Amino acid sequence: MPRTVLFCATVDYHFKAFHLPYLKWFKEQGWNVHVAAKGSMPLPFVDKKYDIDIKRSPLQASNLAAYRDLARIMDENQYSLIHCHTPMGGVLARLAARKKRKLGAKVIYTAHGFHFCKGAPLKNWLLYYPIEKGLSSLTDCLITINEEDFRLAKGLRKAMRTEKIHGIGVDTERFQPVDEAEKQRLRKKYHLNEDDFILIYPAELNVNKNQSLLIEAAALLKDRMPNIKLVFAGKGQMEKEYSRLAEQKGIAANIRFAGFQKEIHEWIQLADVSVASSIREGLGMNLLEGMAAGKPAVATDNRGHREVIKNGINGFLIPQGDAGIFSDRLLRLYHSADLQKQMGEAGRRTAAVYSQKRTVKEMADIYSSFMKNETAERRLKG
C-alpha cells in the first residue's frame, strides 16, 4: 500500500508558486500526495486536496475550526510524513499532528522567514518566539532558508533536527537572459516603451513589502531619469494607498500596477533591474529569479536579501527606509550599461547556487532520511 504525505500551508497558491517540484518528487517515489490549505486551486501531482480556512493572523478565532479540520483529516488518513509551511499553516498542522506523531508520523516544518529576527519589533519576539519555541517539541525537523534563521532554529531546542537549504529553488531554465531583440519584443507585447528604464518588483502589495519606498525613490529620480518605469507585479490590500501615493508624488505615469502575472518570467526578462523593498524577507525569491535572468538587484538590507546579494558585486543593499541611497544606486546603474552587465553576470552565478535542481536534491535527501528511518522501524517491529 502506498505511503502518504500531507503538505499544509495557509493558502494553496503557496504550493502552486513554490512546491510543485516537491509534490512531483513524492509521486515519482510512489507516494500518495495530500494537500491542506485555503483555496480551490487545482494542483498537479495531488491525489487529494482539502480546502481549510486558515487565517494568517494567530489571533483569529476561526483558526480553531481550521485546527479541528486538520485534526480530523489526520485522523482519517494514515500519514507517514507531514510537511507544513507558512507561519499559521505550520502552527496549526503541528498542533493537529500530535496524535499522529505518537503513532510514528514525522513532522517537518519549513520556516520561510521567522517573524522574530534581527531588527524585528519587540512584539514579534514576544508573540512568535515563544510559539516557535513551544512547537519545537512537536517538530521532527525544522528547515530554514537563510543563515540567520538557521542559527535561531538551532537555539530553539537542541534535540530538534535543524537543516538549512538553498531556498525553494529557482527555475533557471524558465528564468534566463534574453537578447535585446527578445527584450524589445516582450516590451511591445506588454505595451512598454523601448527606451523605458524598467524596475520590476513581483510581490504582494502589502505593508511588509513596503512598495512606498520604491515610489519615494522613483519620485527622486523623475527629473534625472524621465524614462523610469516602476512595475509592481502583484495584488494586495495596499494597492489603492500606493496608487494614491504615486499620484501625490507626481509619478503615476511612471508606475505600472500590473497585477498578478502568470508569465512573470517574461516581465523579469523585459526589465533592466530587479528591485525589492521589503522590511522582512526569508530569502528574496524575486531577486534570485531576476539574477537568473541576468538582472542586477537593488534591495533593502534584511536577512533574506543579505543572503543572496553581495553588495557591489551582483547588486546593491540599501539601508531600510533610505529612498535617497536607493535612488542613487539606481542612477549608477542607469548611467552604466557595463555595470548592469557585470552585476547581471555575477547574479547568474548566484542564482545557479539556488537552482531548483539543487534544492529538490536537498529536500529529497531530507525526505529520504525519514523514509529510511521509517522502513527500519517497521522491520524492527516486524
pLDDT in tens, 301-321: 999 999 999 999 999 999 999
Assigned domain for 175 exists: no
Average pLDDT, integer, range 347-374: 93
288 and 360 in a common domain = no
Domain residues for the domain of 30 are 4-169+356-381
293 and 282 in a common domain = yes
Q: Which pLDDT score, from 0 to 100, does residue 120 have? A: 77
Indicate if the pLDDT at residue 382 is higher than 50.
Answer: no
Assigned domain for 245 exists: yes
Element (H, E) at 27: helix 20-28
Average pLDDT, integer, range 225-232: 97
Indicate if the pLDDT at residue 377 is higher than 60.
Answer: no
pLDDT per residue as tens digits for the range 191-222: 999 999 999 999 999 999 999 999 999 999 99
Which of 46-60, 120-134, 335-349 tops mean pLDDT?
335-349
Q: Which pLDDT score, from 0 to 100, does residue 379 have? A: 41
Residue 277, domain CATH: 3.40.50.2000
Instruction: Enter the C-alpha cell of residue 43.
Output: 494542483
207 and 336 in a common domain = yes
278 and 137 in a common domain = no
Assigned domain for 56 exists: yes
Indicate if the pLDDT at residue 68 is higher than 90.
Answer: yes
Closest CA to 330 of 218, 223, 177: 218
Q: pLDDT band at residue 136, thresholds of 50, 70 and 90? A: very high
pLDDT per residue as tens digits for the range 96-133: 999 999 999 999 999 998 888 777 788 888 888 998 99
Assigned domain for 198 exists: yes
Beta strands in the chain (DSSP E): 4-11, 32-38, 48-51, 79-85, 106-111, 141-144, 161-164, 197-202, 228-233, 255-257, 273-276, 297-300, 315-318
Half-sphere exposure of 157 (CA within 13 A, CB side): 17
Higher pLDDT: 241 or 377? It is 241
328 and 245 in a common domain = yes
DSSP state of 43: -
pLDDT per residue as tens digits for the range 316-329: 999 999 999 999 99
- Quote the CA–CA distance of 272 and 140 in Å, as a whole number: 43
Q: Which pLDDT score, from 0 to 100, does residue 2 have? A: 87
Indicate if the pLDDT at residue 65 is higher than 50.
Answer: yes
Closest CA to 275 of 191, 203, 337, 328: 203
145 and 189 in a common domain = no
130 and 233 in a common domain = no
Q: What is the DSSP string of 356-380?
A: HHHHHHHHHHHHHHHHHHHHHHHHH
192 and 161 in a common domain = no
Would you tell me the crossing angle of helices 87-96 and 63-76 to the nearest 10 degrees? 50
Instruction: Enter the C-alpha cell of residue 69.
Output: 479540520
How far is residue 168 from each of residues 209, 369, 382, measured CA to CA in Å?
19, 19, 37
CB atoms within 10 A of CB 43: 18
> Residue for cell digits 516557535?
132
320 and 233 in a common domain = yes
Average pLDDT, integer, range 89-101: 95
Number of domains in the chain: 2
Assigned domain for 205 exists: yes
Average pLDDT, integer, range 11-20: 90
142 and 87 in a common domain = yes
How far is residue 1 from each of residues 30, 31, 370, measured CA to CA in Å?
10, 9, 18
Q: Which pLDDT score, from 0 to 100, does residue 374 have? A: 60
347 and 368 in a common domain = no
Assigned domain for 211 exists: yes
Average pLDDT, integer, range 14-29: 93
Q: pLDDT band at residue 380, thresholds of 50, 70 and 90? A: very low
Q: pTM for this one?
A: 0.89
Assigned domain for 147 exists: yes
Indicate if the pLDDT at residue 49 is higher than 60.
Answer: yes
Would you tell me the crossing angle of helices 323-334 and 337-353 to the nearest 10 degrees? 110
Report percent pLDDT > 90 for the chain: 86
Higher pLDDT: 112 or 374? It is 112
- Quote the CA–CA distance of 382 and 377 in Å, as a whole number: 9
Assigned domain for 174 exists: no
281 and 303 in a common domain = yes
